[in-house]
Structure 1
Amino acid sequence: MQFGIFSVGDVTPDPTTGHEPSERERIKAMVRIAQKAEEVGLDVFATGEHHNPPFVPSSPTTMLGYIAATTEKLILSTSTTLITTNDPVKIAEDYAMLQQLADGRVDLVMGRGNTGPVYPWFGQDIRNGIDLALENYALLRRLWREDVVDWEGKFRTPLKGFTATPRPLDGIPPFVWHGSIRSPEIAEQAAYYGDGFLHNHIFWPPEHTQRMVQFYRQRFAHYGHGTPEQAIVGLGGQFFMRRKSQDAVREFRPYFDNAPVYGHGPSLEDFSSQTPLTVGSPQEVIDRTLSFREYVGDYQRQSFLIDHAGLPLKTVLEQLDLLGEILPTLRAEFASRRAPGTPDAPTHASLLAASKAKIEDASVSSVSSVSSVGK
């Protein structure tokens, strides 16, 4: 089980002080948060990709490359890589470069994003969102797995004898999760390829998350990748934690009430009861997080959003310290409840080992066949 955090990189005024960080402040804060994540023992840091205010992470690989140079173990990921408006050739090259620099500590989450105006900025039409996601990802897979690609599709110019450079590290492409909140077509895509499926899980009730994950698991098995329980699942989540529950609620309320996404809507209490948002004590965060398994089954990655809505860096770092304190309990409890045979989250090392084992098995089978013919 991997635990991590993700950031959407919003630049939001602190409602309690009125301070609005500069873009530089926010970018530097995201870097410090990632470094702190490694310090407290987390496995993953993921950044969003946005091309519109009030967000700053328009170039995820630039940020993750910098973080790679200042960390040693942290897996560097995205909470969304825009497969719809980015050229798959550029994605292939940018993330292979990052993978080489980070010694394989890279995976990414493909998504369509949630900002409609981005599409025309990059020469696309939002009405083609699903078709773009399907076609662009099909090309991206080939670019990472084939040294020379001939290709023709609907949404970009054809490729003839094209080689993306650099090639993936050790011939192993970064592992891909497909992120979606509401689109079964994306869960189907993840299942078709045997990739991971990440449900953001921060705005919707558990019943919706359960339906999406179950659909992905069933389709994963349908395509012959294994049993439903062997499908690779990730969840989002969010919390605000203090030693005493009442202190957490009192401190977080103004941030919730003024948040860009859900501010000025449902009350904190209503939103917390209807979604996975947990505002309370460390034990409450532990109990709520462990409950996710009850409706999605055993899963491989849990990522939390903790640096949004204008929360100051000092507060976010305190949240990470508290998360670090409960992390051993979360790891132990998830491990003790885990069903036998549940796969681990793929890493570059595990994918490389599996590739070598497959080659060795093929070699042994070939030798056995030759020997049989000789007899």
Structure 2
Amino acid sequence: MVRPNPHVLPQIDKQKGLEIGLYTLGDHIAHPLSGERISAKQRIKDLIEMAQLAEQAGLDLFQVGESHQENFISQAHLIILSAIAQATSKIKIASGATIISTSDPVRVFEDAATIDLISDGRMELIAGRASRIGLYELLGYDLQDYETLFEERFQLLLEINENAVVNWEGEFRAPLNDAEIIPRPDNPSQGLPIWRAVGGSHSSAYKAGTLGVPMYQAHLGGAADSFKQTIDIYRDAAENEGFDSSILPVATAGFLYVREDSKQAYQEYYPHINEGMKLTNGSGFPKGLFAQGQDARSIINVGDPDLVIEKLLYQHELFGMDRYVGQIDFGGVSMDNIKRTIDLLGTKVVPAVKKYTSK
């Protein structure tokens, strides 16, 4: 017997094919070759323009993530999303991800619901743990509570999303007693689509499945088929709990860069990825692993339009995902090159992928 799903799920029309969007983590890094770095003010304005260009190109979604360390400007990512909500009219918008472990779920919901009202119902939340852990000390949390903080606050976020009046008692915050959480989104559920970001964790994917929530999985590099097990674990866990996994959305995300020539794409993009990883993660991106991305079975979606189309279709066949979200601006990529990628996505990649994945 199929169990009713209690959660607010994203509205994805599978008849229109794979949803394709863009995400940014708001890194603020100099160009690896010229050494030029734009101002923080200009970088934020560029993020807003990226969302506008993505909408004009016919993409489905634009996400902004948060990071609280040097070389980023996205600490207040929901404020940036609020500006994007006002600057666009059709494209879906989402956090990518909101670090719920170190954020108060009440405040996150208030902010996200307000953005949903500004955007006429286009807002989604992706809740994650944080791969960069410096924010735990910065915001006054103990890293030893990494897992328990996330699980408790994710559950509270779901509770708030699904109930206008909340009673709650947990370990990491004061109780909520008949607390009315407002504003509410202007839709029948009065809630938002909330995804669980899992990284590469099998246990987190399993938990997402048992809860019956949408799953968001980001990838750095490697063979695409090495990531299939995590998605299978998620769907099996959902089915075992009585949920219909066919209606539970899966989103994948990763590096994306398109040029007319694949060799040019790999030559241009590698310095950005390598330098960006050095500055934000402590070590560069292995050159051999990046070069393997030229294989159509790689998870790195870099190349000419035909290669990127082939890769996305292969990944869709492998994963059966409902949405793919690409990161095109990491590591000091210039706005001119960002615009070139968006143009090629809109004119060549997106129409072809949607044609072959529509039902």
TM-score range (shorter-chain normalised) is 0.7 to 0.9
Letter in 2 for 1:15: P
Distance 1:107 1:321 in 2: 25
Letter in 2 for 1:155: F
Distance 1:89 1:168 in 2: 14
Counterpart of 1:322 in structure 2 is 344
Equivalenced residue count is 334
Alpha-carbon distance change, 270 to 87 in structure 1, aligned in 2, over 3 angstroms: same
Aligned with 1:303: secondary structure? Answer: strand
1:87: Cα distance to partner? 0.7
Counterpart of 1:278 in structure 2 is 301
Task: Report the aligned-residue RMSD.
Answer: 1.8
Alpha-carbon contact 1:199-1:235 (below 8 Å) kept: yes
Counterpart of 1:19 in structure 2 is 36
1:204: Cα distance to partner? 4.8
Question: Which stretches in structure 1 are left out of the alignment for 5+ residues?
Answer: 339-375
Q: 2:62 aligns with which of 14, 28, 45?
A: 45
Alpha-carbon contact 2:68-2:135 (below 8 Å) kept: yes
Counterpart of 2:311 in structure 1 is 288
Alignment of 1:24-173 (within 5 A): 24-170=41-187, 171-173=189-191
Distance 2:196 2:322 in 1: 14
* Runs of 4+ that moved beyond 4 A: 271-275
Q: 1:221 aligns with which of 231, 239, 246?
A: 239
- More contact order relative to length (CA 8 Å, sep ≥ 6): 2
1:249: Cα distance to partner? 2.6
Aligned with 2:276: secondary structure? Answer: coil
Distance 1:11 1:77 in 2: 20
Q: 1:305 aligns with which of 323, 327, 342?
A: 327
1:275: Cα distance to partner? 4.5
For residues 213-244 of structure 1, the C-alpha deviation after alignment (integer angstroms, 9 at most, x for no partner) is 00000011112121x44331111132222112
Letter in 1 for 2:260: R
Answer with 215-224 or 250-259: which moved more.
250-259
Highest Rg: 1 or 2? 1
Distance 2:276 2:241 in 1: 41
Alpha-carbon contact 1:187-1:215 (below 8 Å) kept: yes
Counterpart of 1:347 in structure 2 is none
1:186: Cα distance to partner? 2.3
Identity among equivalent positions (%) equals 28
Distance 1:136 1:111 in 2: 10
1:16: Cα distance to partner? 2.1
Aligned with 1:169: secondary structure? Answer: coil
Counterpart of 2:256 in structure 1 is 239
Distance 1:180 1:4 in 2: 19
TM value normalised by structure 2: 0.88
1:164: Cα distance to partner? 1.1
Aligned with 2:22: secondary structure? Answer: strand
Question: Which stretches in structure 2 are left out of the alignment for 5+ residues?
Answer: 1-17
For residues 292-337 of structure 1, the C-alpha deviation after alignment (integer angstroms, 9 at most, x for no partner) is 02321x22111111011111011101100000012111100112xx
Alpha-carbon distance change, 22 to 182 in structure 1, aligned in 2, over 3 angstroms: same
